[in-house]
Amino acid sequence: MCRVTVEVDQEVLRSMNPALDSTAAIRHWAQQLIDMRIQQMEFEDTETMSIEEARAIIHETIRKEYALI
């Protein structure tokens, strides 16, 4: 784990979301955003295929297409 410091305009946040009325609420909100983004990044990483997998798919597709000619 690491700790980072972020500067946030509290008044702008509070004007958009009155529930963000304390430093603790803003900290919790920011942590949720970061956690969600990390989960997205993990999911995106699992969606990536290797170059070998991509080549195999391309070759199989080409074989099927030329078999129809």
- Residue 31: the pLDDT is 93
Give 32-57 pLDDT, tens digit per residue: 999 999 998 888 767 677 889 889 99
- Rounded to an integer, the average pLDDT of 18-39 is 93
For the chain, which residues make up each domain, given as ranges?
A: 10-67
Query: Per the structure block, which two tokens stand in for 23?
Result: 């430093």
CB 8 within 8 A of CB 27: no
C-alpha to C-alpha distance for 13 and 52, rounded to whole angstroms: 47
- Residue 21: the pLDDT is 93
C-alpha to C-alpha distance for 46 and 65, rounded to whole angstroms: 29
CB 29 within 8 A of CB 20: yes
- Rounded to an integer, the average pLDDT of 8-21 is 94
- Residue 48: the pLDDT is 74
